[in-house]
Amino acid sequence: MSLFPMFLKLTNRPCLVVGAGRVGEPKIESLLAAGAAVKVVAPQATEALRQWARAGKLDWRPRPFEPADLDGVFLVVVATASPDLNDSVYREAQRRGVLCNVVDDPPRCDFYYPAVVNRGELQIAISTNGQSPALAQRLRRELEQQFGPEYAAWLEALGRERERLFARPSDPEERRRILHRLVTRERFEEFVRGKSTSE
C-alpha cells in the first residue's frame, strides 16, 4: 500500500494519546511541539507528563480509556503495554473515522511517525512504510550530516528574499527563475562563507 506523504498543521486540533509512559512521552512531546490541543488518558504518567499537565500544556485524565474520549478527536496515538486495550482503541477509532497510530504495531496504524531531520523551518521526513524503522533512523543520521545546522539560517534568508520578491510586481516566470537561482549549491556555499567571515 502506498502512503500519502504530507505535513499536517495540528495547531489547536484535538489530539488524544492513550498511555503516558516512556513510549508515549516522545509522541506527546511532538504533538505539543506542533501546537496540538493534547488530551492524555492514562492511570499513570511519567514525571515529564505530570509537569506538562501542571503547566497547563495538556489535559491529563488519570483513569482508564473510555470510548467517549474519542469524541471530537482529530487523531489518536495509542501507546500502552496492553495489546487488548490497543486493539480496542484502534477499532473504536476506525468506527468513528479517527486517524489512529498504535505505536510499534503497523497493521493498526493509519499514519506513521517518520524519522525527521529538523533544521529550523527545514524538515526532512523519512518513512519506510513501517517496514524498517531502523533503516529510517540510519538515513536520518546520514541526512543530519549532509544537512548541517547552517541550513536553518540559510532557509530564513531565503524566506526573506522570497517575501521581498512577492512584495513587488514582477513577471511570475522571471520570479520563478530568480527563486531557483537562489537555491543552488554555489549560493549556499556563498552564504556559509559570508556567515563565517561576519562572525
Q: With 90 as the cut, is the pLDDT of residue 197 above it?
A: no
Domain co-membership, 59 together with 98 = yes
* Per-residue pLDDT tens digits for 15-38: 999 999 999 999 999 999 999 999
Domain co-membership, 29 together with 95 = yes
Residue type present at position 110:
D
pTM of the model: 0.83
Domain co-membership, 94 together with 166 = no
- Average pLDDT of the segment spanning 135-151: 96
Residue 152 has which C-alpha cell? Answer: 536553518
- Provide the pLDDT for residue 77: 98
Domain co-membership, 106 together with 121 = no
* Per-residue pLDDT tens digits for 70-109: 999 999 999 999 999 999 999 999 999 999 999 989 899 9
Domain limit, last residue, from 66, 87, 112:
112
73 Cβ neighbours under 8 A, 6+ residues apart = 14, 15, 16, 39, 98
Looking at the 3D structure of the chain, how many domains does it have?
A: 3
Domain co-membership, 100 together with 126 = no
Domain co-membership, 6 together with 42 = yes
- Provide the pLDDT for residue 195: 75
Domain co-membership, 133 together with 177 = no
Residue 134 has which C-alpha cell? Answer: 531502523
Question: Are the C-beta atoms of residues 101 and 80 closer than 8 Å to each other?
Answer: no
Cα–Cα distances (Å) from 32 to 27, 35, 138, 164, in that order, read 9, 5, 25, 32
Q: With 70 as the cut, is the pLDDT of residue 1 above it?
A: no
Domain co-membership, 19 together with 107 = yes
Q: With 70 as the cut, is the pLDDT of residue 125 above it?
A: yes
Domain containing 71 — which CATH number? 3.40.50.720
Residue type present at position 195:
K
Beta strands in the chain (DSSP E): 14-18, 37-41, 59-61, 75-78, 99-102, 115-119, 122-126
- Average pLDDT of the segment spanning 49-54: 97
- Provide the pLDDT for residue 129: 85
Q: With 60 as the cut, is the pLDDT of residue 140 above it?
A: yes
Domain co-membership, 188 together with 107 = no
What band does 60 get if pLDDT is binned at 50, 70 and 90?
A: very high
Where in the sequence is the domain holding 184, given as residue range(s)? 150-198
| 124 beta partners | 117
Q: 63 or 106: whose pLDDT is higher?
A: 63
Q: For the chain, what's the residue count? A: 199
Which of 34-43, 69-78, 185-194 bottoms out in mean pLDDT, i.e. has the lowest? 185-194
Domain containing 139 — which CATH number? 3.30.160
Q: With 90 as the cut, is the pLDDT of residue 47 above it?
A: yes
Domain co-membership, 74 together with 139 = no
Domain co-membership, 178 together with 92 = no
Domain co-membership, 178 together with 105 = no
* Per-residue pLDDT tens digits for 146-184: 999 999 999 999 999 999 999 999 899 999 999 999 999
- Average pLDDT of the segment spanning 116-124: 95
- Provide the pLDDT for residue 196: 67
Q: With 90 as the cut, is the pLDDT of residue 113 above it?
A: no
